[in-house]
Amino acid sequence: MKNTILSFLLLLGTLSSYGQNTATLTVPAKPDRIISRHIYGHFAEHLGRCIYGGFYVGENNNKIPNKDGVRLDVVDALKKLKIPNLRWPGGCFADTYHWKDGIGPKDKRPTIVNTWWGGVTENNSFGTHDFLNMCELLGTEPYLAGNMATGGVQELADWVQYTNFAGVSPMSKLRRENGRDKPWNVKYWGIGNEAWGCGGNMTPEYYANEYRKYATFVSDWTNSSGIFRIASGANSADYNWTEAIMRIVPKNLIEGMALHHYSVIKWDKKGPSTTFNEQQYFSTMKSALFMEELIQKHSAIMDKYDPEKKVALVVDEWGGWYDVEPGTNPGFLYQQNTMRDAMIAGSTLNIFNNHSDRVRMANLAQAINVLQAVILTDEEKMLLTPTYHVMEMYNVHQDATYLPLTVKSTDYTLGNEKLTAVNGSASKDKNGLTHVSLVNIDPKKKQEVSINIEGANYKSVSGRILSSKNLQDHNTFAKPNLITPTAFKGAKLKGNTLNVEIPPFSVVVLEMK
C-alpha cells in the first residue's frame, strides 16, 4: 500500500512538472502579410556608455580596432543580427540635442552637459556624420529623433535638408564643406520624444498641434524614397494619448505612432538585474506580457481613425529595466542581462510578429551598455548577452511572410497569479523555409506543445535553443559564452503534427521544410 501511494505521488510529481499545450499553425494559400524587418530595430542614445565606449571609442584609439572611431567588434556583432534600423540620439537626450553642435571639426565642437543622464560632459565628438556613416558601415537605416522641446521648426527642417538634400542649398553646402557630398537620405524621423514627460511635459492636444507644425516641415521634398514621420507616442497604457494624436493629426502628416513600454516591476522598486527571486521574475514577465494588451488596445484606437492601417505602431522603446549594477553611475542605466531578458525578448518579439499588421517598427532599449542591451563592453572586451542571441535566432522572421500560429497555453502560476506559459509566432521566408519561435517562460516546468499544421506538408524539422541551468545565469567578461544557442533535438514531425518539448525558461526557433 505504502509503495502504491509512493508511486502515485511520484507519478503526480512527474505529471505536474510537464505542461501540455496545443497549437495550430496555418499556412494560408494566399498569405497577405509581411513581418517588417524594422520590428527588429535598435536604439542608441547619448546615455552612459552606449555611444562613448560602446559604439564609439574615438579615431585615435589604438587599443581597440575601429573605423573612424567606431568599434569593429561591435559592427561585426550587429551585422550578424542584421539590424534593420538604429534610433539616435535619444531618448530624453534628443530633446536637448542641437545637431549643429555635432558637425564640423571635432576640436571646434562645443562641450555641453548631458542633463538627463548623469550630468556628464558631452563633447559632441560623435555627431551627425559619425552616426550616419556608422549606419552605412552597419548596413542599417538611421532613425533620427528630432528635438521638438528645446529646438525649433527651423532647426529640425535644417537637419532634414542637411542630411537629405542633393541639390544646392545652405544646408547641403554646409554638409559638403564638412566632407560629405552625397546626402544620406534619412527616411525615419521622430518628432520629439516622450512629449508627455522628458520631452516637454505636454498635454496630448498641445503636442498634437505642435506636431502638425513640425511635421509640415519634415517633408518629402528632399527625399525620393519618402519620409516616414513618427509621432511621440503614449507612455504604456495612456490610451488617451494615442486617441488625441490620431484624432488631431491629419493622416497625410504621420506615418508612425510611437509607444514606449518597459518591463519594470515598479518604478521605485525595480529590483536587481541578476540576483532576482521568482516573485520578481514573475512580476517582470507580467509587465513584459502586458505588451499584448497594450498593442491590442492602442491598435483598436488607431483602427478607429485609420482602418486601412496606414499609420504604423512603432514601439520605439521596449525592454527590461532594473536597478543599475552596484557601484555604477545611477544615471548610466548599466545593467546585466540574464535568461529573464531572453524570456522578455523572445515573448515580446512573438507579440510583435503576431501584430505585424499594425506593429511595423520597434526599437529595443538600448543596443550597448544601457538597459536591456544586446552587447556589453568593458574597455577592449565585449560580450553578447542572452538578448543578443534571441535577436539573432529570431532574425529569420525579418521580412518573412507572417503565418498565423495560435497557442493554447497552460498557465505558469505563482501564488494566486498566473501567466500564459508558452507563446510563439511563425513565418515563411523567401527561400520557402518555415520558422516557428516558441518561448516557455515557466521557470520550473517543461512544456510539451503539440502543433497541428494546416495547409502544408513538411518533411523535416531542425532547430536551435537558448537555455541555461539557472534563470539568473548571464554572460560575463570572464565567461562570455556561458549562454549561447545550441542545436535543439526536442522537435518531432509526425505527418501534420509537430511535437515540441521545451525545457523551462527556454527560447526555441524551429526550421521546417
* Residues of the shown chain interacting with ligand AHR in the complex, contacts defined by CB under 6 A: 45, 90-92, 193-194, 317, 365-366, 371
Given 194, 255, 392, 448, which residue is catalytic?
194
Query: 132 near 186, Cβ under 8 Å?
Result: yes
Ranges assigned E (strand) in 135-208: 141-146, 188-191
Among residues 334 and 505, whose Cβ is nearest to ligand AHR?
334
Identify the residue whose cell numbers are 556608455.
49
Query: 11 near 440, Cβ under 8 Å?
Result: no
Among residues 90 and 504, whose Cβ is nearest to ligand AHR?
90
Among residues 19 and 233, whose Cβ is nearest to ligand AHR?
233
Q: Which residues lie below 8 Å from residue 274, measured CB to CB, with a gap of 6+?
A: 336, 338, 472, 474
* Least CB distance to ligand AHR at residue 295 (A): 19
* Least CB distance to ligand AHR at residue 90 (A): 5
Determine the number of helices (DSSP H) and then strands (DSSP E) in the chain: 10, 27
Gap between the Cα atoms of 506 and 122, Å rounded: 40
* Least CB distance to ligand AHR at residue 284 (A): 17
Query: 200 near 148, Cβ under 8 Å?
Result: yes
* Least CB distance to ligand AHR at residue 371 (A): 6
* Least CB distance to ligand AHR at residue 267 (A): 10
Among residues 333 and 349, whose Cβ is nearest to ligand AHR?
333
Cell numbers placing 334: 548599466
DSSP-assigned states of every residue in 96-130: G--GGGGSS-GGGSPPEEETTTTTEEE---S-HHH
Tell me the CA distances in angstroms from 255 to 207, 227, 297, 365, one per residue in order.
16, 8, 19, 22
Among residues 198 and 311, whose Cβ is nearest to ligand AHR?
198
Gap between the Cα atoms of 387 and 118, Å rounded: 26
* Least CB distance to ligand AHR at residue 117 (A): 8
Q: Catalytic: 194?
A: yes
| Cis, peptide link before residue 154, omega less than 30° from 0 | no
Q: Catalytic: 454?
A: no
Among residues 365 and 451, whose Cβ is nearest to ligand AHR?
365
Given 141, 210, 255, 317, which residue is catalytic?
317
Q: Which residue's CB comes closest to ligand AHR?
A: 91
**Alpha carbon 321 to chain centroid distance?**
13
Gap between the Cα atoms of 113 and 96, Å rounded: 10
Which residues have a catalytic role annotated? 194, 317
